[in-house]
Amino acid sequence: MPANATSLGWLGTGRMGAAMAGRLIDAGEQITVWNRTPAKTAPLAARGAAVAGTISDLASCDIVFVMVARPDDLEQVVCGEAGLLSADRRPAVIVDCSTVSAPVSASVRAAASQAGVEFLAAPVSGNPHVVAAGGACIVASGPAATFERVRPYLEQIAAVAVHAGDGEQSRLVKLCTNLYLGMIVQALVEVTSLAEKGGTSREAFLTFLNGTVLGSDWTRRRAGDLVARDWTPTFTTELLRKDFDLGLDAARSLEVPMPVASAVYQLIQSAVGTGMRDQDFLALYDQQARIAALEPG
Amino acid sequence: MPANATSLGWLGTGRMGAAMAGRLIDAGEQITVWNRTPAKTAPLAARGAAVAGTISDLASCDIVFVMVARPDDLEQVVCGEAGLLSADRRPAVIVDCSTVSAPVSASVRAAASQAGVEFLAAPVSGNPHVVAAGGACIVASGPAATFERVRPYLEQIAAVAVHAGDGEQSRLVKLCTNLYLGMIVQALVEVTSLAEKGGTSREAFLTFLNGTVLGSDWTRRRAGDLVARDWTPTFTTELLRKDFDLGLDAARSLEVPMPVASAVYQLIQSAVGTGMRDQDFLALYDQQARIAALEPG
Amino acid sequence: MPANATSLGWLGTGRMGAAMAGRLIDAGEQITVWNRTPAKTAPLAARGAAVAGTISDLASCDIVFVMVARPDDLEQVVCGEAGLLSADRRPAVIVDCSTVSAPVSASVRAAASQAGVEFLAAPVSGNPHVVAAGGACIVASGPAATFERVRPYLEQIAAVAVHAGDGEQSRLVKLCTNLYLGMIVQALVEVTSLAEKGGTSREAFLTFLNGTVLGSDWTRRRAGDLVARDWTPTFTTELLRKDFDLGLDAARSLEVPMPVASAVYQLIQSAVGTGMRDQDFLALYDQQARIAALEPG
Amino acid sequence: MPANATSLGWLGTGRMGAAMAGRLIDAGEQITVWNRTPAKTAPLAARGAAVAGTISDLASCDIVFVMVARPDDLEQVVCGEAGLLSADRRPAVIVDCSTVSAPVSASVRAAASQAGVEFLAAPVSGNPHVVAAGGACIVASGPAATFERVRPYLEQIAAVAVHAGDGEQSRLVKLCTNLYLGMIVQALVEVTSLAEKGGTSREAFLTFLNGTVLGSDWTRRRAGDLVARDWTPTFTTELLRKDFDLGLDAARSLEVPMPVASAVYQLIQSAVGTGMRDQDFLALYDQQARIAALEPG
């Protein structure tokens, strides 16, 4: 590595982290990785990544990406006793790709800032397969200059990397997409049940809808489950409610009325209370079919 | 053309009709065309289509496709004095690709049936460019056997052709997609305004959303207008209200509650009443921005 | 009766009609009555009313009040072959106290006008007991001068008599009160279920609410049924839906968004479709309790 | 006072407290009063009340009623250094008639319980005039035996006194009535604007509505303001939003969907954001009139 090159570290090589770090390797970057369970770094090491023995070792990289499962993990690997900020030589930038709430993000950012480290909140949309295939989407927030410094690497990882603002906006943007998802699914079950009660099968209706410009990768991916009424959870109704809790709290704080989102929120609550709590949120279809007095085919 | 082959007629060669008929020619079919303004048949004639002098001449084709602009036109070219049903030799099947209401469709179907002619209601989703590129989507209703007979040609015309039922279901399915569209746009403006009030530009937000699995061809196509707040009408708020009038009437008749669609209907009515009647329905953004006390950037 | 006095006729002496006509007698008016089933005029005759043998005989009164059960009846007794307008001597004013739709009202008004007879649409709020006790409420529409002419008698009949406009406004006002009633009941079941799930009995909650300035005669009268979950119909859910059909159609025609009324309409539709069609509309409580996962005490 | 009689104390003799304490005096009770600003006890003293020099002196009464303006005040006069619980001789029961949140109430109750003092949360509905005239309404929660012990006095104070449960239910019941109030006002402005756009004046419409069984003391009291569009605050839109914040939080915790209340919440938010924050919440009429494109008369 040339003396003036930027060195990259990757903390957290679970399924998502490994897929993302793999994209950097594929793009020709030399990276150093660390994971709590060291065995999980092996596949990346086999592809050329260096492996750090401790987080402190990783901390000497210029930019360290973090991809961990839970807010507690983030706080620990960054602010904890043996965390990135405790090392003698600290990174210039920490890029957190985990999905955490705005308050947690702000608190970690403050700690980093205190230690002279820049922080980018950069959650990702996409599952490991999509990420590996280059289809991920990253929304990042933090100082614009920091974003510009990291952008080349984000664009190696993902198809889209946007800068959402100077603070915790990326967290809100993620909530917004989940609010949008909840509204889409209710919209979908309303029109599907209407077409169905009019005599059109769910399959025919969804095939048509997905053929039009209104179809999305999501509606196409889930059409089969909706046709089969397969509510095996990909994301439970209760978890969707959690995102609505957070998203509508943010809307309240910002004084943004959300007429449709709040109507959907109440419908989600109804579903949670009438047996769909742990089912996939597509089960909103069953609630709609019930009030439509529709005997689903 | 072999003696036992099916002969195809095309009535109405405006922009959409010409694009659709052109798909049949490209697929190797020999077709005969007719248009009220004869000059509009010239480009198809140049590509090999025969041109009928009168509707009666066209009526001797086995299957006649109709693509006209208005319900009145449909009634006239099918049931009128010099219409398809008045000819000595009538087609076996009429396939109406126009967008008309269920009652008009049912009335033309009844007249055709009376005359021993089968009728398929087969509206199309897609603009002429999309159609020409093979991306159209057709939803057809009428007897299943009729659909099967016509299906090979529908699949030459469009990427997707589904059978929605034995009656006027295809009309309802079209309304359902427009109800879905209205709900999408309100969902979109709610989350966009929320992200924006939180500090994320519309452009950054929509770029991210469109990068995720929730993005659709429609949201991608219209993102630029939403960013630019360009409400030059592609489809006015008042026309969207008309589709909601019809769709929610159908829902009422079928006793299907539509909690979100009806909330959106009221928001559309508000927009119509406060200056957005003749603007593109994306102007729902302005209404949302107003109640969010958002000074749009 | 002095030569220049106004003579009053009353057509329709069912329970409501008799109660209303009785108020005029009690106020000292001399009235002539007619009823399809003559026996029903006897109690009023016993109190001093003259009885007309035919509608034609009644038609010679200056002002004829009409209180019949159905729109058809109204059209027949006014416009029919042996109706008020067919008589040689016609009344100066017909005051219709029945509850009919605006179009029927407008058509009868037009016929009356054609025959040189003024028409006041004057539906009543209150049941026969309330009417007899002087607590009725009348909303009338028609020419202001006509209203002023009839007002003294309306004020003998009812505690409140208001002029709503020159046309069919009184019909719309009646629909408005029923929309308001539907919204009240949904509001009531939402807060009742919330208090109840928090641990307060329906009885305690409703006793408190009815003790505050928010209580109305209606909420007080129905509290017992709500406590007992007695859905014996006073007015069915389906009939309430009918009033919402008409009221929201009027709102659509007038381009008045009704965000809450339309949300309630969808909830009424849900109730109709899930077994409450023929129950009293207070059964909306059961729907609310169900989605609140509340085991009603 | 007989040796075995119950002695009554009253802490807080502002306008509401004085009106309530006055009811006890009128009923023949001997009471002892205390107020932070001693002068405010004079009118009650003139009517026969004893005046305590300190809260400690008051604490020797068997039952002490508290009516203070703010949660902080409640905590101070009960749990503070010189509060009721700090006295050598403590009351058997504290009855808090203030309006505070459930958490504050629970915390004061816990402190009382710790000190061996029973606590009744007993907020009041009614203004000082209504209270003085005997029209108040009290909802109390706390142990049933405590309620029974205090009930005779509550019934001297108020026309209605109900027991809502063993815990903090009375706080929730108060929120429920305010949610109901918010829904009523939106319902009212929707139907008023509809009648008005149809040609009926607000005054005529409200006179009729208030004459029917749907009219309440509240709708009658406020009709004049609505007719005059006088938004001088009695209770601001922002304060109503606060009650909706609390009420809908409670509903969320209890998993009670509130479809209409949450729709109204969003409309209140819209009103807050578009200039009605500090106006009386009846100003929701202006918002409705605006979207109805109604030029208010």
Q: Are B179 and A194 a contacting pair at CB < 8 A?
A: yes
Nearest to D205 by CA among C145, C126, C98, C139: C139
Instruction: Say yes or no: C156 contacts chain A, CB-CB below 8 A.
Output: no
Q: Are A164 and B250 a contacting pair at CB < 8 A?
A: no
Q: Are B257 and C245 a contacting pair at CB < 8 A?
A: no
Tokens of C239: 């009939």
- The pLDDT of residue A3 is 44
Whole-number Å distance between alpha carbons of D59 and A277: 50
Whole-number Å distance between alpha carbons of C199 and D173: 10
- Residues with pLDDT less than 70, chain D: 1-4, 296-297
In the predicted structure, residue B43 carries a pLDDT above the cut 80: yes
Instruction: Say yes or no: B30 contacts chain C, CB-CB below 8 A.
Output: no
Instruction: Say yes or no: A204 contacts chain B, CB-CB below 8 A.
Output: yes
Q: Nearest-CA distance from C291 to chain A in Å? A: 5
Q: What is the ipTM of this complex?
A: 0.96
Instruction: Say yes or no: D60 contacts chain C, CB-CB below 8 A.
Output: no
Amino acid A108 reads V
Q: Nearest-CA distance from C22 to chain D in Å? A: 20
Amino acid D50 reads A
Backbone angles phi, psi at A211, to 5 degrees: -80, -20
In the predicted structure, residue A1 carries a pLDDT above the cut 60: no
- The pLDDT of residue B4 is 56
Backbone angles phi, psi at C10, to 5 degrees: -130, 120
Interface test with B, best of D193, D266, D291, D295 (most B CBs within 10 A): D291
Alpha-helical (H) ranges within D137-258 are 144-157, 169-197, 202-211, 217-228, 237-253
Instruction: Say yes or no: D262 contacts chain B, CB-CB below 8 A.
Output: no
- The pLDDT of residue A239 is 94
Share of residues in chain B with pLDDT > 70 (%): 98
- What number is the average pLDDT over the span C103-132? 95
Indicate the residue of A269, A274, A291 with minimum beta-carbon distance to C270.
Answer: A291
Backbone angles phi, psi at A2, to 5 degrees: -60, 150
pLDDT digits (tens, 9 = 90+) for C238-253: 999 999 999 999 999 9
Instruction: State the average pLDDT for chain A.
Output: 96
DSSP, collapsed to helix, strand or coil, labels residue C37 as coil
- Specify the pairing of strand A137-141 against strand A124-125: antiparallel
Instruction: Say yes or no: D263 contacts chain B, CB-CB below 8 A.
Output: yes
Tokens of D197: 């756009």
Whole-number Å distance between alpha carbons of D98 and D30: 22
Q: Nearest-CA distance from A263 to chain B in Å? A: 7
- The pLDDT of residue B3 is 44
- The CB density around residue B53, as the number of other CB atoms within 10 Å, is 9
- The pLDDT of residue C264 is 98
- The pLDDT of residue B5 is 83
Q: Nearest-CA distance from C293 to chain A in Å? A: 5
Q: Are C195 and D213 a contacting pair at CB < 8 A?
A: no
Q: What are the CA-CA distances from residue B56 to residues B4, B39, B60, B121 (Å)?
A: 21, 18, 7, 21
Beta bridge partners of D66: D11, D96
B2 CB-contact burial (10 Å; exposed 0-12 / middle 13-18 / buried 19+):
exposed
3-state SS string for chain B: CCCCCCCEEEECCCHHHHHHHHHHHHCCCCEEEECCCHHHHHHHHHCCCEECCCHHHHCCCCEEEECCCCHHHHHHHHHCCCCHHHCCCCCCEEEECCCCCHHHHHHHHHHHHHCCCEEEECCEECCHHHHHCCCCEEEEECCHHHHHHHHHHHHHHCCEEEEEECCCHHHHHHHHHHHHHHHHHHHHHHHHHHHHHCCCCHHHHHHHHHHCCCCEHHHHHHHHHHHHCCCCCCCEHHHHHHHHHHHHHHHHHCCCCCHHHHHHHHHHHHHHHHHHCCCEHHHHHHHHHHHCCCCCC
Smallest CA–CA distance from C271 into chain B, residue:
B257
In the predicted structure, residue C52 carries a pLDDT above the cut 70: yes
pLDDT digits (tens, 9 = 90+) for A66-90: 999 999 999 999 999 999 999 999 9
- The pLDDT of residue A4 is 56
- What number is the average pLDDT over the span A143-167? 97
Amino acid D45 reads A
- Specify the pairing of strand D160-165 against strand D137-141: parallel
Amino acid D259 reads P
pLDDT digits (tens, 9 = 90+) for B85-122: 999 999 999 999 998 989 999 999 999 999 999 999 99
Instruction: State the average pLDDT for chain B.
Output: 96
pLDDT digits (tens, 9 = 90+) for A186-209: 999 999 999 999 999 999 999 999
Q: What are the CA-CA distances from residue C54 to residues C68, C89, C261 (Å)?
A: 16, 13, 45
Instruction: Say yes or no: A28 contacts chain D, CB-CB below 8 A.
Output: no
In the predicted structure, residue C198 carries a pLDDT above the cut 80: yes
Contacts of A among chains (3+ CB pairs under 8 A):
B, C, D
Whole-number Å distance between alpha carbons of B235 and B214: 23
- The pLDDT of residue A2 is 46
- Specify the pairing of strand B137-141 against strand C31-34: unpaired
Whole-number Å distance between alpha carbons of D140 and D166: 9
- The pLDDT of residue C297 is 67
